[in-house]
Amino acid sequence: MTRLAGKVALVTGAGSGLGRAVAVRFAAEGAKVVVTDVDETRGAKVAREIGGNAAFIRVDHTSTEQDDRAVAFAVEKFGGLDIVHNNAGGPFTGPFEDVDDATLERVLRVNLFGVMQMTRAALPHLRASAQRNPAGAALLFTSSLQGLKAKPNFSLYTVAKHGIVGLVRSLALELAPQNIRVNALCPTVVATPMLEAFLPGMAGDHDEAMKRFRATIPLARMPEPEDVAAAALFLVSDEARMITGVALPVDGGQMAM
C-alpha cells in the first residue's frame, strides 16, 4: 500500500489513541512519519513500532518554540513536509461556572492555541511541498463532533473544537490559491484512553453512560481509532485533491439524527 509514498507527515499527539492509529496508518501507506507527543515514553514507543520510516520528537504544543523545533526536525530528518495532522488535544468536562482562569487557559492552549502555533510553523514547508506536487499539500485537524454540535458540561472543549472548524474553513479559502488543502475530522467519542476523561460529563456510572451513548449511534457501535485513521488517510491522500474546507463527521450517523 503506497497511497502516501514519498510523502513526509507530522502527526501531533501520536503517542496513543487516534494519533497513534493515524501515524501507523500513514507509515503503512508509505509515508515517513514524525511522531510528536508530550509523553516521551509513549511517543518514542510508537516511533519504534513503526520502524525506520518514523522518528519521534517530544513536543509540548502550548510552546511556540517547541512547535517550531518539531517542524525543523521533520524537515531536517526527512527532507521536507507534505502533511501535518494537528491531532494533539485534551479533554474537559464540568459545569462552566466552575471554570477558573487556569483551567480556561490550559484547555484553550492545548486544544486551540497550540494547534494554530503548529500550523503557523508548518505553512512555509507545506507551501514548498504544494509547489512540487500537483495534488498539493495537506493540513488536517482533529476537531470533534463537539465542533459541530454541543452538549451540556463540555463548554470549553466545545468552544475549542468549534474554533478548529472555523479555522479550517477560513484557512481552506486562504490557502487554496497556494494548493494547500485544509480539512478536519469530527469524530464522536472513540474507544481510546481519553474516553475515561469524558465519562464524568456524560453522567451516571461507567456502564450506564456507555449504554446510553451507544444508543445514540445509528450504527450501534463506537468507532475505533482505526476508523478515524482511515478517514484521515483519505483526506490527506492525493485522491482527495478536490476536497478542502470539510469538517467530516466520523460518528456512525449521529449528525444525521
The one catalytic residue among 26, 56, 154, 157: 157
pLDDT digits (tens, 9 = 90+) for 39-64: 999 999 999 999 999 999 999 999 99
Domain ranges of the chain: 8-193+225-250
Helix axes 114-132, 155-175, angle to 10 degrees: 20
Say if residue 247 is exposed, middle or buried (CB neighbours under 10 Å; 0-12, 13-18, 19+): buried
Q: Which residue has the cell 461556572?
A: 97
Could you give the CA distance from residue 248 to residue 142 in angstroms, rounded to a whole number? 10
Indicate the pTM of the whole model: 0.94
Other C-beta atoms within 10 Å of 5: how many?
10
End-to-end distance of the chain based on CA atoms, in angstroms? Answer: 35
Asked about 107 being catalytic, the answer comes back as: no
Q: Which residue has the cell 454541543?
A: 150
- Helix ranges (DSSP H) in the chain: 17-28, 40-50, 64-78, 101-108, 114-132, 155-175, 195-198, 206-214, 225-236
State the 10-residue block means of pLDDT for the chain, 257 residues long.
Answer: 94 96 98 97 98 97 96 98 96 89 94 97 98 95 95 91 98 98 94 62 63 86 93 98 98 94
C-alpha cell recorded at residue 145 = 463532533
Nearest Cα to Cα of residue 6 among 84, 55, 78, 75: 78
C-alpha cell recorded at residue 9 = 507527515
Nearest Cα to Cα of residue 61 among 33, 89, 101, 92: 89
CATH of 8-193+225-250, one of 1.20.210.10, 3.40.50.1370, 3.40.50.261, 3.40.50.720: 3.40.50.720
pLDDT at residue 109, rounded to an integer: 95
Nearest Cα to Cα of residue 177 among 125, 127, 239, 236: 127
pLDDT at residue 144, rounded to an integer: 95
